[in-house]
């Protein structure tokens, strides 16, 4: 049987003072002499006292939790390692502070808006991370109206009072296209993400601009929801055409890996018959065959930066934007010189 938890009453009894004085000392409130505070803290440490999150919440009117609401199909989310890596980065910041992350996965944007209102009215979170930014994102004025501190993952295309953590993904896409052109590719296709999401449309624009700057005609693009199934379907459509592309630039790694599988299934050799590239450099891209050429963005670094920035915003009332290093091309075996013209 586990030993009973040490309470404030136990510390007060040992110190010979009131529970109120112990509470003030442990929560660093005024009204306690320096000598008494030090003595109470020493006794609390010796007895093994640890704070009760519930009691702290009641006394400070804080939840000691931050929120992340994701409006995606759970099956789609489950196949994309970006968010687990991002969350791991956030947790490295929150856990040492005794804070928790509240994750809500919702089916659509309407439910997402209701979820933010519910989180605030129920006092469940002290701040949120805003992901998957959209054009003229309506969540930004909503969170401002609710008075909920937030950090945006990416730079909004509308006015925002919140700090942002951004990675410029356009150089990585442009570098990928230039690399494929240098290998001799001229028919290059793009399996894009959702045009409703800023990063989806931004990567699509970077792809189009890179081809235009190289003097090549516009490449074929297929829009998806970033899911593995959509990536596989797009790859099949592209590779079974009368004149298929010799290279496909996918907007994320899971879709690119699905594209690898489709190419193998169709009897195509990668990269001889078709080159395939991804985006994000998730952990297992180096272990597929051939290893995936992709753009490295380090989602866990996003998480750490977002966690630190949101805590600063909550503590100080302000925090600067953070620009992380731009994604860079990682060359592996899935891209090479085309064997057919």
Predicted pLDDT of residue 1: 43
Closest CA to 188 of 202, 166, 173: 173
Predicted pLDDT of residue 337: 96
> What tens digit of pLDDT does each residue of 20-45 get?
888 778 766 677 888 888 888 888 88
State the Cα–Cα distance between residues 335 and 144, nearest whole angstrom. Answer: 45
| Lowest mean pLDDT, pick from 21-30, 57-66, 161-170 | 57-66
Predicted pLDDT of residue 9: 85
Predicted pLDDT of residue 35: 84
Q: Which residue has the higher pLDDT, 6 or 270?
A: 270
Inter-axis angle of helices 139-146 and 109-121, nearest 10: 10
Written as six digits, the tokens of 160 are: 């925002």
Q: Say whether pLDDT at 198 is over 80.
A: yes
Sheet holding 247-250: strands in order across? Answer: 221-223, 188-192, 247-250, 275-277
- Can you tell me which residue has the tokens 């945006």? 152
Q: Which residue has the higher pLDDT, 238 or 8?
A: 238
State the Cα–Cα distance between residues 154 and 58, nearest whole angstrom. Answer: 34
> What tens digit of pLDDT does each residue of 129-152 get?
999 999 999 999 999 999 999 999
Predicted pLDDT of residue 68: 95
Please confirm whether the linkage preceding 290 is cis (ω < 30° from 0).
yes
pTM of the model: 0.80
- Average of pLDDT values for 180-198? 95
Residue 58: which pLDDT band, with cuts at 50, 70 and 90? very low
Q: Say whether pLDDT at 2 is over 70.
A: no
Tell me what percent of the residues of the chain surpass a pLDDT of 90: 66
- Average of pLDDT values for 290-295? 97
Q: At 244, phi and psi to the nearest 5?
A: -70, 160
Domains of the chain are 8-51 (1.10.260.40), 65-167+299-325 (3.40.50.2300), 170-296 (3.40.50.2300)
State the Cα–Cα distance between residues 130 and 69, nearest whole angstrom. Answer: 7
Residue 51: which pLDDT band, with cuts at 50, 70 and 90? low
State the Cα–Cα distance between residues 177 and 68, nearest whole angstrom. Answer: 33
Would you state the torsion angle of the CA atoms of residues 156, 158, 160, 165, taken in this order, to the nearest 10 degrees?
10
Closest CA to 15 of 41, 34, 53, 33: 41
Residues in CB range of 195: below 8 A, 6 or more apart: 201, 204, 223
Would you state the torsion angle of the CA atoms of residues 59, 65, 66, 67, taken in this order, to the nearest 10 degrees?
-110
Q: Say whether pLDDT at 60 is over 60.
A: no
Q: Say whether pLDDT at 55 is over 60.
A: no
Tell me what percent of the residues of the chain surpass a pLDDT of 70: 94
53, 64 in Cβ contact below 8 A?
yes
Predicted pLDDT of residue 141: 96
Q: Say whether pLDDT at 57 is over 50.
A: no
* Reduced 3-state DSSP string for the chain: CCCCCCCHHHHHHHHCCCHHHHHHHHCCCCCCCHHHHHHHHHHHHHHCCCCCHHHHHHHHCCCCEEEEEEECCHHHHHCCCHHHHHHHHHHHHHHHHCCEEEEEEECCHHHHHHHHHHHHHCCCCCEEEECCCECCCCHHHHHHHHCCCEEEECCCCCCCCCCEEEECCHHHHHHHHHHHHHCCCCCEEEEECCCCEHHHHHHHHHHHHHHHHCCCCCCCEEECCCCHHHHHHHHHHHHCCCCCCCEEEECCHHHHHHHHHHHHHCCCCCCCCCEEECCECCHHHHCCCCCCEEEECCHHHHHHHHHHHHHHHHHHCCCCCEEECCCEEECCCCCCCCCCC
Q: State the Rg of the chain over Cα.
A: 25
| Lowest mean pLDDT, pick from 33-42, 158-167, 258-267 | 33-42
Q: Say whether pLDDT at 240 is over 80.
A: yes
| Lowest mean pLDDT, pick from 49-53, 169-173, 223-227, 329-333 | 49-53
Q: Say whether pLDDT at 92 is over 70.
A: yes
Q: How many residues can be counted in the chain?
A: 341
Predicted pLDDT of residue 261: 97
Most confident of 9-18, 26-35, 149-158: 149-158
Supply the mean pLDDT for the chain.
Answer: 90
> What tens digit of pLDDT does each residue of 199-210 get?
999 999 999 999
| Lowest mean pLDDT, pick from 17-31, 77-91, 221-235 | 17-31
Q: Which residue has the higher pLDDT, 321 or 49?
A: 321
């Amino acid at each position: 049987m586990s030993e009973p938890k040490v309470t404030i009453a136990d510390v007060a009894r040992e110190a010979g003072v009131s529970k109120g004085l112990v509470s003030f000392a442990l929560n660093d409130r005024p009204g306690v002499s320096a000598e008494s505070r030090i003595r109470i803290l020493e006794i609390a440490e010796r007895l093994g006292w640890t704070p009760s999150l519930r009691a702290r919440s009641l006394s400070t009117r804080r939840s000691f939790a931050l929120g992340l609401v994701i409006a995606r199909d759970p099956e789609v989310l489950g196949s994309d390692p970006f968010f687990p890596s991002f969350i791991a980065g956030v947790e490295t910041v929150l856990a040492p502070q005794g804070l928790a992350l509240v994750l809500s996965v919702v089916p659509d944007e309407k439910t997402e808006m209701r979820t933010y209102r519910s989180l605030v009215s129920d006092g469940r979170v002290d701040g949120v991370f805003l992901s998957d930014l959209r054009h003229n994102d309506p969540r930004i004025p909503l969170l401002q109206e609710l008075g909920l501190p937030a950090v945006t993952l990416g730079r909004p295309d509308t006015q925002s009072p919140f700090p942002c953590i951004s990675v410029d993904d356009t150089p990585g896409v442009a570098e990928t296209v230039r690399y494929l052109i240098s290998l001799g590719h001229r028919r290059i296709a793009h399996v894009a993400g959702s045009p409703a999401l800023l990063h989806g449309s931004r990567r699509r624009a970077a792809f189009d601009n890179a081809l235009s700057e190289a003097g090549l005609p516009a490449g074929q693009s297929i829009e998806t929801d970033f899911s593995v199934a959509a990536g596989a379907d797009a790859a099949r459509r592209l590779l079974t055409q009368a004149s298929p592309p010799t290279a496909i630039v996918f907007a994320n790694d899971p879709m690119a890996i699905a594209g690898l599988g489709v190419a193998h299934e169709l009897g195509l050799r990668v990269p001889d018959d078709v080159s395939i590239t991804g985006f994000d450099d998730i952990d297992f891209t180096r272990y597929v065959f051939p290893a995936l050429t992709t753009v490295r963005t380090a989602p866990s670094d996003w998480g750490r930066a977002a966690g630190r920035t949101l805590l600063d915003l909550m503590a100080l009332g302000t925090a600067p934007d953070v620009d992380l290093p731009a994604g860079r091309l990682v060359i592996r075996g899935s891209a090479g010189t085309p064997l057919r013209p």
